[in-house]
Structure 1
C-alpha cells in the first residue's frame, strides 16, 4: 500500500527565519522566526521595547536586517525595501500617522497614488474605491492635514495605505492618541474590507482589548522573543494579559 502524501501547507505571506536586527550594536531581535498567514488578522502585542515595531519596520524595509531571511510568499527577499514591498501588495500605516501637516488631504492622496505606482488613468477609480471604504474622508478632503484631529489624520494615513489595494496591511500602533471608540470606528471598516477581500493584516498595538476584538490570532513578544501564540478568546481577561506583561 502506498503511503499517503500530504501536500505542503501554503507558504506564509510574510515570514522571517533566524532574523537578527539591532541598533548601535545592540540586538533587538535575535534568531527570530515569525509567520503572517494569508488572509489573517494577526495582533502583535507586548511591553514597550519588546521589538514589535522593529519587526514591522524590518518587514517593510525601513530597518535593515543584520542576519537571517525575510520571505514573501515563501521566497527569500535578497533586498527588502518599501517600493518593492508596495509593488508586491504590502502597505504600511506608520506609527505617528506620517502625514505632512502642510498638505491637504487631496494633495496627500495625489502623492500616495503616485508613490503606489497607480497608472494615471486608474487614479480616480482607485481614489473612489478608498472613499467607499472610508467615506468620512470626503468631509475634510480639502483641508490641510495639520488642521485635522488625531482620528482624522489616522484615517488619512489608512486611506493613503489603501491606495495600492494591498493584499497585506501592516499597521503600527494606530490607536495612539485615540479614544477606544474612535479606534474601533476606524478599525471596523478595515476589518470589513479584510473579510471581503481576504487581505492579511499585521496589527502592532498597545490597546490590547480593542485590538483583540478584530484579530484572528495573537502573538505576544517580550524582550525580542515570542513568548506565546494564542487565540483572542484565550486572552479575554485582564488577569491572563497581566501574566504576559
Structure 2
C-alpha cells in the first residue's frame, strides 16, 4: 500500500495549555484533493499550521511519505515538496508582485539559473499574474492578492499543497476561477492538496474526499457527493 503523503498519528497541539487537537489521526493520500470542513474553532487551521511547522506540537507524530519527521520546519518541508497558501494571503502590501515572487524564489532555494523558467511556469498556471506583475500588492483586489499568494506557493513546484481558507473575502465565482486552474494542475501532475475551507459548496466541486471536524476531532469522512444535500451538511455543523 502506498504511504500517505502527509499523516498524523496521535497528534496533540494546543495553546496556553489547552489542547485544540488531542490524539488527532488523519492521512492525505497521494494525488487527491482532501477538503477539511467544520465550524470555526474546530482546529482546521491549527492542523495546517502544525503540518507546516508554524505551530509546535506537544505530542504525536507527523509523517511525510511514511517517514516520521522528528523536526517540522517550513524550509525543510518546502525542500521536500510541501507548500502552504496561508490564511489571509500573507502578501507584503509595499512590495510589487515581481518583488514578492523574487523573494519567494529566494526563500524556496530555487537556483538563480532556474528562476526565469520557474516564473514562466507559474504564469502558465496563473496567467492573470502577468496583468498586475509590476503593481504593489497593497493596490490589488482581494482576488488578485490571492492569485499572488497561490503563485508564490507554486514557485517550488510542490507535490503537496496546503491551502488555508483561500475563499476569504472572495465572491463564489471568483473563488471558482481561482481553484479551477489549481484543480487542472493537480489532475495533470498528481499533486496532493489539503484544502481548509468555509465555502463548502464551492470547495466540494473540486474535492475527491471530505473530512468533517468538530472540536478538534474528525466526526465524519465522506465523498463530496454524499454531502451535496444542504440538509446533510447542516446536520454536521
- Which TM-score bucket, shorter chain as reference? over 0.9
Which residue of 2 is the match for residue 142 of structure 1?
134
Any residues of structure 2 matched to 1:42-81 within 5 Å, and which? Answer: 42-81=34-73
Q: Which position in structure 1 is the counterpart of 2:9?
A: 17
1:32 aligned onto 2:49: no
| Structure 2 residue aligned with 1:130 | 122
Instruction: Give unmatched runs, 5+ long, in structure 1.
Output: 1-8
For the residue of structure 2 that corresponds to 1:221, the secondary structure is: strand
Point out the structure with max Rg over C-alpha: 1
Distance 1:226 1:180 in 2: 26
Q: Unaligned regions of 5+ residues in structure 2, if any?
A: none
Alignment correspondent of 2:191: 199
Post-superposition shift, 1:237? 1.3
**TM-score (norm. length: structure 1):** 0.96
Counterpart residue number, 1:151: 143
Cα distance in 2 between the residues matched to 1:11 and 1:227: 23
Tell me the C-alpha RMSD between the 2 structures.
0.3
Alpha-carbon shift at residue 19 of structure 1 (Å): 0.4
Is 1:232 the counterpart of 2:217 in the alignment?
no
Partners of 2:154 and 2:217 lie apart in 1 by 30
Q: 167, 179, 191: which one pairs with 2:171?
A: 179
Q: Does 1:211 find its partner at 2:203?
A: yes
Q: Distance in 2 between matches of 1:39 and 1:180?
A: 25
Task: Give the counterpart of 2:112 among 116, 120, 136.
Answer: 120
Cα distance, 1:70 vs. partner?
A: 0.3
Which residue of 2 is the match for residue 41 of structure 1?
A: 33
Query: Could you give the per-residue CA deviations for residues 192-218 of structure 1, whole angstroms, max 9, x where no partner exists?
Result: 000000000000000000000000000
Tell me the SS of whatever aligns to 2:57.
coil
Give runs of aligned pairs for residues 81-120 of structure 1, distance below 5 A: 81-120=73-112
After TM superposition, what 4+ stretches of structure 1 lie above 6 angstroms from structure 2? none
Q: How many residues align?
A: 237
SS of equivalent to 1:215: coil
Q: Give how far 1:86 is off.
A: 0.2
CA deviation vs aligned residue, 1:86-118 (integer Å, no higher than 9, x gap): 000000000000000000000000000001111
